[in-house]
Structure 1
Amino acid sequence: MSESSKWNRRQALTTGLAGAAVAAGGALAPVNAVRAAGAASSLGYTGLPRTFLWNPGFNALVDTSKFKKPGPYIIGFSNASQADLWLVTFFQGVQWAAEKNAAKLKKFIVTDANGDPAKQVSDIQDLLNQNIDLLLVNPATADALDPIVGRATRSGIPVVTAARRVQTDDNFVSFVTASDTALARMSATWLAEHLGGKGKIVLLPGLAGASPAEMRLQAAKEVFAQFPGIEILDTQYTGWSPANGKQLMSAIIQRQGKAINGVWADSGLQGSGSVEAFVNAGYKPNEIPPHTGGDLNRMYKLAYEQKFPFCGIDYTPSIGISALGLALNVLEGVSVPKRLDVSFQIVVSEGDETASIKADVPLKDYVALDKPDDFIMGHGMGAGYDPKTFKAKYPT
């Protein structure tokens, strides 16, 4: 494969096409909503999202005709925080989509709770007081935001949750996700199978209380329970922080040392910190235990350069783009799925596929060596996207 071909392939994979329908000037078409969410790339996995196909539950289609009204619309977006690099990219994706759909918006009102659930409750109440037509929300925690989101729903305001959800299904119209359970099951299965079904591992989930972290941890534990030879040495919440991942793993290495056979991280944010802890502890590339964790380019770079066994699955931040498209569908009276699953790519280091987990794209073709370490993959905003210079214009 030529260098230019590798670049074109990786560009398609890392930028994603999940926001293509929105970028073209409209919300996701109702019939194609699931298929559009699955169009993660033109060269990698292009089928219906496995997050949809493999989910053991059912996914109802929600009749939104009662919310139909003429535009332009006032949409309130309540964001939990921009506390990590993934959240920054997600936040920018929502704003990017608002700009692309500015003609349909009278106002797009944005609030950010800085990770404080109490502030987010107050933010949402302020949005409700501004006569919004729809509430788009990324909840700080599932339990703390459930009552206020339920209050909005009971008042007749449709609610769309994105990336994170609240506890009660009846409190929102739709939840837009990349399936935390599918991501965790697949990454945990890869690690267990790579270890031959036996070994001592460390679990590094994200933020305690946040629905993605809790759902991923539960799903991963379900997988590891199927392998009696797998022993969990330690579980530490990291807040999706590279610094926390490094600090926590450094302490675990001091206690456990060479006994650690593998590390399951639900994101490359803390996963990258874990790898750096092993490097700093003097581990040679062939001594670093296998790791999981996607999203962060730094994680992909470390796996490529240090050559340890690796499986990366991005929880694509283009979820935010798809969520804005779905929100517009709701206000146009188009039926939407109760859960919209945005697809993801599976990335595996060369020669490290397992019986159940195959790569959509090999690590060498996915890592963005020309991009900064803090670049978040799968953003869906095109090849020119730069989080440091990003600006979006929309009605306020």
Structure 2
Amino acid sequence: MRFPQSSSPTSRRNLLLGTAAAGALFAAGCTSNENNDSDENSKQAANTANDKPGKAVTIGFAGPQADHGWLNAINQQAKRRAKEYKDVTLEITEGSNDTAQQIGQIETLINKKVDVLVILPADGKALTQVGLKAMRAGIPVVNLDRVFASPQAYRCWIGGDNYGMGLNAGHYIGEQLKGKKNAKVIELAGIDNLELTRQRTAGFNDALKNYPNIKKVGRQAAEFTVESGQSKMAQLLQAHSDFDALWNHDDDQGVGAERAIKQAGRDDFLMVGGAGAKHAMDAIKADNTVLKATVLYPPTMAASAIDLARALGQGKGVGGLAELEIPASLTLYSAVVTKDNVDEYLPTGFS
């Protein structure tokens, strides 16, 4: 995924929630804080699951151009979730990777006086001012994944855990190889000048520190594209004739990596992908390639962002939590999908 901005995995503002836990909370629904009982415990008890239609809410959704499978899944998740609510109207922009154009689209939504904005900025830093503009106009903003430069530009942030992706990929590989002496691993990373790539590599390296029998012997940075995945993987294969595991940061570039692996006739190692594409999950389920797992960066965060926006528009909290307000931040968990649990996650796989 091409993310110019990413949240810090160590931010104290982030409330860590597993994907399943977050899904359970939002599927349970958000409930009104209105309660005539003055007893505080009764007020909190009222904040339980309820999906009944409430106040009509118009949600403006602005994201970047869907030029990647994950980004397209973000748009689709938001649209599908909004349709599930009879009280939600979704105003969605065409999406753009041009910051000036996206700012214009968001300003149009502000002028339409939508009740809440959900924004996945093409560049979080560059779009901070328009986030601030919306908040100052009284329109709460749900900042999706690529974080704005100021917390004043949004009411709630929700996104993935890049450090956690690397950490969980490293632990999975470590457990698979813990009985092997002098094991070797390589890494096919994303775009190196992106903070998210550095976070994923840092998490991976930190996990491997727990396995003294494993050494990372190679790393190449690709560009989150099929073509770059194929060319960079070919270079890795040529440079390393013997290794035991590969972690690839992104399932889209993994398509190219798998082509290079097949062309080289290699099947002597295991591969772990990243993000959770459907083709990767299908391969994991078939269990007939080197790809044995993928670490999620769940696009379901867009559906949860719609849930949060609806709750904000209706003055509600989150079902399943005692607090009367929605959290300031939600970091989704990077689950590892293997053949043992792939059926559970297949519905979230994106094309």
- Pair in the same fold by TM > 0.5: yes
Cα distance in 2, alignment partners of residues 221 and 207 from structure 1 = 17
Q: 1:337 aligns with which of 315, 318, 327?
A: 327
The answer to whether residue 242 in structure 2 is matched with residue 252 in structure 1 is no
The letter for the 2-side match of 1:233 is G
Cα distance in 2, alignment partners of residues 155 and 344 from structure 1 = 35
Structure 2's unaligned 5+ residue stretches are: 1-19, 34-53, 317-324
Q: CA offsets, 1:205-253, max 9 Å, x none? A: 44566665454344334434565653352231422x3333223212332
Q: 2:150 aligns with which of 155, 168, 171?
A: 168
Deviation, 1:325, is 0.9
The letter for the 1-side match of 2:220 is T
Deviation, 1:18, is 6.6
Report what 2:82 is aligned to.
98
SS at match of 1:248: helix
Q: CA 1:157–1:207 in 2, change beyond 3 Å: closer, same or farther? A: farther
Report what 2:218 is aligned to.
233
Q: Are the aligned partners of 2:164 and 2:334 in contact in 1 as well (CA < 8 Å)? A: no
Deviation, 1:331, is 1.7
Cα distance in 2, alignment partners of residues 17 and 337 from structure 1 = 14
Structure 1's unaligned 5+ residue stretches are: 1-15, 32-69, 350-360, 369-376, 380-385, 388-396
Report what 1:51 is aligned to.
none
How many residue pairs match? The answer is: 300
Map 1:168-207 → 2, pairs under 5 A:
168-196=150-178, 199-206=183-190
Map 1:320-335 → 2, pairs under 5 A:
320-334=302-316, 335=325
Cα distance in 2, alignment partners of residues 97 and 164 from structure 1 = 20
The answer to whether residue 121 in structure 2 is matched with residue 139 in structure 1 is yes
Report what 2:348 is aligned to.
378
Cα distance in 1, alignment partners of residues 82 and 341 from structure 2 = 33
Cα distance in 2, alignment partners of residues 30 and 202 from structure 1 = 50
Map 1:1-396 → 2, pairs under 5 A:
27-29=29-31, 71-105=55-89, 108-196=90-178, 199-206=183-190, 212-224=196-208, 229-231=214-216, 233-239=218-224, 241-254=225-238, 256-283=239-266, 285=267, 287-303=268-284, 304-308=286-290, 310-334=292-316, 335-342=325-332, 345-349=335-339, 361-362=340-341, 365=343, 377-378=347-348
Cα distance in 1, alignment partners of residues 240 and 219 from structure 2 = 13
SS at match of 1:167: coil
Cα distance in 1, alignment partners of residues 27 and 333 from structure 2 = 18
Q: Are the aligned partners of 1:294 and 1:300 in contact in 2 as well (CA < 8 Å)? A: no
Q: Are the aligned partners of 2:168 and 2:335 in contact in 1 as well (CA < 8 Å)? A: no
Deviation, 1:337, is 1.0
Q: Are the aligned partners of 1:163 and 1:212 in contact in 2 as well (CA < 8 Å)? A: no
The letter for the 2-side match of 1:338 is A
What TM-score do the two structures reach when normalised by structure 1?
0.64
The letter for the 1-side match of 2:234 is S
Cα distance in 2, alignment partners of residues 281 and 236 from structure 1 = 20
Cα distance in 2, alignment partners of residues 138 and 150 from structure 1 = 14
| Residue range with higher mean Cα deviation, 208-217 or 92-101 | 208-217
Deviation, 1:299, is 1.8
Q: CA RMSD of the aligned region, Å?
A: 3.4
